[in-house]
Amino acid sequence: MSTPTPPPTAPDRLPQQHDLDALLAVAETVAREAGALVHEGRPERVTVAATKSSPQDVVTAMDVASETLLRRRLAELRPDDGVLGEEGTDHAGTSGVTWVVDPIDGTVNYLYGIDDYAVSVAAVVGDPDPATWTVLVGCVHAPAVGTTYTAARGRGAWRDGVPLQVNADVPLALSLVGTGFGYEAERRRAQGAVVAALLPQVRDVRRIGSAALDLCRLGAGGLDLYYERGLNPWDLAAGQLVAQEAGAVVTGLHGRPPGRDMTVAGPPAGQAELVRLLEGLRADEGA
């Protein structure tokens, strides 16, 4: 009898035979180091150092310091790899691996002393674009609560070493749905209209303020479904892998991959039902 061909996500089918154990160890090491910096170094009152897309889209000095640490440590541990970061790091390496990092995912929470923020670190191959990349490993470390989510492609996802599994499919009316909002006023109006139409059709909606943690909570059973428009690569990379390795389907709308237009995640039947609803609401259109 011939040996079955392994699935495409199996580690031995990964590009260039990458050592997932070594990559995951690096991801967790640097995420924890950056998490210690932002948590232990947080002043009593955090101030805004800059803004990006709008006055509500803030950057703190610690965002920049955390990304600087991540960039330096990755250069030490993986000198041939590329790095793409939220606060401006964009370095193309020669190894085919790119580290996609968010130095503080949930900066507004961090600004106000709310514990739901995290450092997100993922290794991808291919262009660092959710439409085409392959995410190899990911780590989302929430230092204020001492929780670490990890995942390796084809091997599973864990919270502090305990394997994760998404909730079983339930009807949309019984689903707790996570989401998030952009920072520009017109985008928020459009997203508010979608939530207003969605809310009567689900158990309830949560807006926690960190896309990476939302995806990880989905993987851990803390949410039934999740959707959000406007996610950047660093928002998505590590959390997407955690959710997928815990059993979630993660896509966009209209057969597209997840990304800036829309990301929808959950167990197969519920995710498909939410996709259909969001397509009917034209949730990826407008501002």
CB 244 within 8 A of CB 237: no
Give the Cβ contact number of residue 195 at 10 Å.
Answer: 16
Instruction: Quote the pLDDT of residue 55.
Output: 61
pLDDT of residue 37: 95
pLDDT of residue 50: 64
- Res 223: pLDDT: 98
| pLDDT confidence of residue 286 | 76
Can you tell me the distance from the alpha carbon of 55 to that of 184, in angstroms, rounded to the nearest whole number? 9
pTM score: 0.90
- pLDDT value, residue 6: 33
At 43 the pLDDT is: 73
The alpha carbon dihedral of 1, 15, 26, 220 has a sign of negative
In this structure, how many other beta carbons lie within 10 angstroms of the beta carbon of residue 79? 10
Any bridge partners for residue 19, and if so which?
A: none
Report the pLDDT value the prediction gives residue 153, as an integer from 0 to 100: 97
The two most distant CA atoms of the chain are separated, in Å, by 66
Predicted local confidence at residue 61, as pLDDT: 84
**Residue among 175, 251, 267, 253 at smallest CA distance from 219:** 267
Instruction: Tell me which DSSP letter residue 182 carries.
Output: -
Instruction: State residue 1's pLDDT score.
Output: 33
DSSP state of 216: H
SS3 68: helix
- Structure tokens given for 80: 């041939």
Q: What is the C-alpha separation between 133 and 125, in angstroms, rounded? A: 6
DSSP state of 259: S
| Sequential pLDDT tens for the chain (287 residues) | 333 333 334 444 454 568 999 999 999 999 999 999 999 988 776 776 666 666 655 577 888 899 999 999 999 999 999 999 987 778 889 999 999 999 999 999 998 999 999 999 999 999 889 999 999 999 999 999 999 999 999 999 999 999 999 999 999 999 999 999 988 889 999 999 999 999 999 999 999 999 999 999 999 999 999 999 999 999 999 999 999 999 999 999 999 999 999 999 999 999 999 999 999 999 998 77
